[in-house]
Structure 1
Amino acid sequence: MIWTRARSTPILVIRLLMAAVFTFYGCVKLFGGQFYYGDWDGLAKSEVSGTSLVWLFYGYSPFYGRVTGLFELVPAVMLLFRRTTFVGAGALFVVGLNITLMDFAFGYPFVKYMAALYTVLCGTLVLHDRDRLREVFADPVR
């Protein structure tokens, strides 16, 4: 009993931390705080840094920005419930992998390492439920 509790406490902390992080970022995107949804007139590529240009591009479509927020927020809420943790963690692992790839590809500063950490933590949650993962990929004939 004590060993089970000792193993589950770090997982609970990771679940709550990832739920908080992705809820925050999802809400920021939903309410229009991360991407630039303004007027593009007068913006010159030579005057904007590469990382800012990425936010400008993603903000070109407010619909896209809001949907990416939902793709972070909904799985983050799923982490709060034990029955949906596996699906939420799997979804956030994929979302985190995309964010990490984007951050490294476009040369974001320190935040790329945080994104990588969040991806690893979500992967840890998925691997913690490896029995469910085996069920997903199991041969139905066997």
Structure 2
Amino acid sequence: MDWKKTHYYLHTFCRYFLATMILGYAFAKILGTQFTSQPSTYDQPIGSLSGFNLTWYYYGYSFWYGVFIAISQITSSLLLFFRKTTRIGVVLFLSYMINILLVDFAYDIEGAKGMAATMTIMALFILISEYPLFIKYFLTEPPLFQDSERPDWINNIRKVKWVYIPIVFFGFYFGLSTLKSMLMGKNQFYGTWQNKDTTANFKYFNFEVANTFKINGTHNIDKIANGTYSFTNDSLVLKTFTEEYQSVLDKDKSNAIINPDTTKMLILLKGKYVIRDNDLIIQTDTNNIIFKRIR
């Protein structure tokens, strides 16, 4: 068997197959047959959306972003059709195709996984067919600026990077970990609780990060109140902003929403609490409020 000729036929087939198929996906984005959500999707709580609906809604939110992806796909298609531009075409193709493959599997996009995997494997075959050239370009070719072309003081301190890189690497990791524990720590209240009193004017209570809360309506969409809370071993205090100041925050274009004025807050609820399994019982001066954790 003539392996070189077989390689040529397979290489050519993969080029034309990828270039042809990706055009269909590109025009689907431009014409709106892809990344289009059905009207019923907009009435569903985000927590109930499937991976497919969530992905389609997210990517379909911005039309121009879908067009940008489509233009990248059309460009790579045209480049793959010609032998002289195949190398840059396959690099461009893989730059978005690997991401598509990961999204299909991470968000469980049924019906798309097989084709995405096939096209990625074909593109990798085209890339690997000329791996010596890529190794030479990316690894063995001298860097852009040689030592003789750089200022002497740069050459003298170049070893500082072996100190700088670990500092940046571990500094960001531990710095962000510390900020997360300080600002995004989760306590025993964190989560969504459902009001067991069906006659109440609100159904869902959300305790969130940074000791903040939101009280939402029937479908956990309509906002009723929000603010901050503090607690001890047995007592809980919820504070909310005045209506006047809340309207300021809703229209905020500065940093007021990040650093709100806590002097403009009122006590919304104050009482003793008990958490038993998935039940939260808050005893106020007038009644008991019982919540059930749903997530």
Specify the TM-score bucket, using the shorter chain as the normaliser: 0.7 to 0.9
Question: 1:18 is matched by which residue type in structure 2?
Answer: L
Alpha-carbon distance change, 139 to 115 in structure 1, aligned in 2, over 3 angstroms: same
Q: Distance in 2 between matches of 1:41 and 1:100?
A: 24
| Counterpart for residue 18 of structure 1 | 18
Q: Within 2, Cα distance between the matches of 1:116 and 1:5?
A: 25
Q: Is the 8 A contact 1:32 1:65 kept in 2?
A: no
Note the C-alpha offset of 1:44. Answer: 1.9
Note the residue ranges of structure 1 that are not aligned, 5 or more in a row: none
**TM-score normalised to the size of structure 2?**
0.43
> Does structure 1 residue 60 correspond to structure 2 residue 76?
no
Whether 2:126 is the aligned partner of 1:139: answer no
Alignment length, in residue pairs? 140
> 2:100 aligns to what?
99
- Decide whether the 8 Å contact of 1:58 with 1:64 is kept in 2: yes
CA deviation digits over 1:60-82, x for unaligned, max 9?
10011111111211101110010
Within 5 Å, give how 1:23-62 maps onto structure 2: 23-36=23-36, 42-45=42-45, 48-62=49-63
Residue pairs, 1:69-84, within 5 angstroms: 69-84=70-85
Structure-2 separation of matches of 1:40 and 1:62: 19
Q: Deviations over 1:23-71 (max 9, x none)?
A: 1111111222201278799532367533122111111100111111112
CA RMSD of aligned residues (A): 2.3
Query: What's the offset of the Cα at 1:93?
Result: 1.5
Distance 1:16 1:32 in 2: 25
Structure having the larger proportion of residues in strand = 2
Q: Which has the higher contact order (CA 8 A, sep 6+)?
A: 1
Paired residue for 1:8?
Answer: 8
Whether contact under 8 Å (1:32, 1:66) holds in the other structure is no
So what's the TM-score if we normalise by structure 1?
0.86
- Aligned equivalents of 1:140 and 1:114: distance in 2? 38
| Structure 2: unaligned runs, 5 residues or longer | 144-295
Please tell me whether residue 90 in structure 1 is matched to residue 76 in structure 2: no
- With over 3 angstroms needed to count, the CA separation of the structure-2 counterparts of 1:132 and 1:57, relative to structure 1, is same
| Whole-Å separation in 2 of the counterparts to 1:41 and 1:103 | 19
Is the CA contact 2:35–2:60 (under 8 Å) kept in the aligned structure 1? Answer: yes
